[in-house]
């Protein structure tokens, strides 16, 4: 370990990540669009109106995916935050920072769509019940992470404080998820992931799954793109970033940058030797 | 399933709710995409300027 770089650390190099994302993202946009088009078609033209909620239930085709994405992105944010805190891997902080705005947007959209679904269905836009309140807290956690990260002049310090917040806030996610079972709630119970199968018509399930896929892929594409931009802006003077900015990042440059990162991030041994 | 475009847009009487929800989601995603594309252009342009300045300085030093 002494004086030699650890091979797997090369994969955590922003340059390696940049090249990989550059190859992935162009496929993700059309894939997300295709899923969204198919899902919207199924949701608006194949799935019948609900016998209780009429056509208002169609809001669920975007409400459920945004709500799931909000929680999922938060868990990812906490995981990357933990990786950054423990191993000081820069790329983890870049990923976490790239996730937060999309997570906040998804959570906001789930609250918005939920309110517009609740108004005709429950007769109110908002109630302070467990699920809605904990989802609002999720939104504040995302915003708090972003504010805390941006507040410190020292990015390393800001990143550590924000990561800590992200980890502590992760207890909120199971609270949101299980709130409909733990407490008496206005929010309806689980209707998709049930042990006895979904309590919906097949075309509704198909539309919902397609929309969920669309949001997953969209979130993946937008987070990878944002992480790329963040990686470039953090290492502006490096050879790889300047080559990448003109779209000519060579394999050699990438590997040199990766080797540099691996050396740079090598954990100190117990005797304090790098 | 729908009785013409008017019936579709009416959404069984839930038009403001359904279109308000889908509209905000579309707006949110569109805005996120546009803001990100703008930031990406800005960062790349900044790096390109730096790289040009650097290579100009290198050429200048070689000339002396």
Name all domains of chain A by residue range, CATH numbers in brackets.
23-48+55-187+197-224 (1.20.120), 235-265 (no CATH)
The pLDDT assigned to B7 comes to: 93
CB B28 within 8 Å of CB A109: yes
Place of tokens 């904990």: A134
**DSSP bridge pairs for A83:** none
Q: What is the pLDDT of residue A259?
A: 85
Average pLDDT over residues B11-34: 96
Residues of chain B with C-beta less than 8 angstroms from the C-beta of A237? 50
Query: Which pLDDT does position A268 carry in this prediction?
Result: 53
Two tokens, residue A179: 């709130």
Are A172 and A165 contacting, i.e. CB atoms less than 8 angstroms apart? no
Cα A179–Cα B32–Cα A43 angle in degrees, nearest 5 = 60
Cα Rg for chain A, rounded, in angstroms?
22
Residues of B near A (CB-CB distance < 8 A)? Answer: 1-2, 8, 11-14, 16-18, 20-22, 24-25, 28-29, 32-33, 36, 39-40, 43-48, 50-51, 54
Measure CB to CB from residue A113 to each of B25, B47, B48 and give the nearest one.
Answer: B25
* B-chain residues near A241 (CB < 8 A): 47
What mean pLDDT value characterizes chain A? 88
Res. A152 pLDDT band, cuts 50 70 90: confident
**What's the pLDDT at A9?**
66
The set of residues, in sequence order, having a beta carbon less than 8 Å from that of A151 and lying 6+ positions away, is A158
Residue A270: per-residue pLDDT? 45
Cα(A166)–Cα(A169) distance, rounded to whole angstroms?
Answer: 5
Residues A226-254, mean pLDDT to the nearest whole number: 91
Residue B63 C-alpha, separation from nearest chain A C-alpha, in angstroms? 22
The predicted pLDDT at position A1 comes to 41
**Lowest mean pLDDT across A36-40, A68-72, A155-159:** A155-159
Report the complex ipTM.
0.90
Q: How far apart are CA B18 and CA A59, in angstroms?
A: 6
Rg (CA), chain B: 25
**Chain B contact for A123 (CB, 8 A cutoff):** no
Q: For position A70, what pLDDT does the model report? A: 97
Beta-carbon separation of A63 and B33 below 8 A:
no
Residue whose C-alpha is closest to residue A217's, from A74, A65, A114, A17: A65
Q: Mind telling me how many Å the CA of A55 is from chain B's nearest CA?
A: 6
| B45 burial level (CB within 10 Å; 0-12, 13-18, 19+) | exposed
Burial of B22: CB neighbours in 10 Å, binned 0-12, 13-18, 19+: buried
Q: Please tell me which residue, B60 or A216, carries the higher pLDDT value.
A: A216
Q: How far is A228 from chain B (nearest CA, A)?
A: 9
Q: Which helix (H) or strand (E) holds B59?
A: helix B15-63
> Per the confidence metrics, is the pTM higher than 0.95?
no
> Chain A: nearest CA to B47, how far in angstroms?
6
Query: According to the model, what pLDDT value does residue A274 have?
Result: 39
Reported confidence tier of residue A193, pLDDT bands at 50, 70, 90: low
Please give the distance of CA A68 from its chain centroid, rounded to a whole number: 10
**Could you read off the pLDDT of A77-118 as tens digits, one per residue?**
999 999 999 988 999 999 999 999 999 999 999 999 999 999
pLDDT band at A198 (very low <50, low <70, confident <90, very high): low
Confidence of residue A271 (pLDDT cuts 50, 70, 90): very low
Average pLDDT on A51-66 reads 93
Higher model confidence: residue B31 or residue A189?
Answer: B31
| Alpha-carbon span A194 to A188, nearest angstrom | 13
Helices (H), chain A: 14-41, 60-87, 90-122, 130-151, 155-169, 172-182, 202-234, 239-245, 251-264
């Amino acid at each position: 370990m002494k004086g030699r770089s650890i091979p797997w650390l090369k994969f955590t190099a922003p340059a390696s990540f940049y090249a990989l994302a550059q190859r992935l993202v162009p496929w993700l946009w059309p894939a997300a669009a295709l899923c969204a088009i198919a899902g919207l078609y199924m949701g608006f033209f194949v799935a019948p109106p609900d016998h209780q909620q009429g056509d208002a239930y169609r809001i669920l085709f975007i409400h459920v995916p945004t709500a799931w994405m909000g929680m999922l992105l938060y868990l990812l944010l906490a995981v990357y935050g933990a990786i950054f805190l423990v191993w000081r891997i820069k790329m983890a902080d870049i990923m976490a920072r790239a996730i937060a705005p999309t997570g906040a947007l998804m959570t906001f959209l789930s609250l918005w769509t939920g309110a517009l679904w609740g108004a005709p269905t429950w007769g109110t836009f908002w109630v302070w019940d467990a699920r809605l309140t904990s989802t609002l807290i999720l939104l504040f956690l995302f915003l708090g992470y972003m504010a805390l990260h941006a507040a410190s002049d020292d990015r390393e310090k800001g990143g550590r404080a924000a990561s800590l917040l992200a980890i502590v806030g992760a207890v909120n996610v199971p609270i949101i998820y299980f709130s409909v079972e733990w407490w008496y709630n206005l929010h309806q119970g689980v209707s998709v992931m049930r042990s006895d199968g979904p309590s919906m018509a097949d075309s509704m399930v198909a539309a919902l799954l397609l929309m969920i896929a669309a949001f997953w892929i969209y979130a993946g594409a937008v987070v990878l793109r944002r992480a790329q931009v963040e990686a470039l802006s953090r290492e502006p003077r490096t050879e790889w970033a300047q080559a990448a900015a003109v779209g000519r990042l060579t394999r050699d440059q990438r590997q040199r940058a990766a080797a540099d990162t691996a050396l740079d991030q090598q954990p100190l041994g117990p005797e304090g030797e790098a | 399933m729908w009785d013409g475009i008017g019936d579709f847009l009416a959404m069984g009487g839930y038009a403001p709710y359904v279109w308000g929800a889908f509209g905000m989601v579309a707006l949110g995603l569109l805005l996120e995409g546009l803001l990100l594309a703008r930031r990406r252009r800005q960062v790349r342009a900044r790096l390109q300027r730096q790289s040009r300045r650097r290579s100009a300085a290198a050429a200048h030093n070689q000339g002396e």
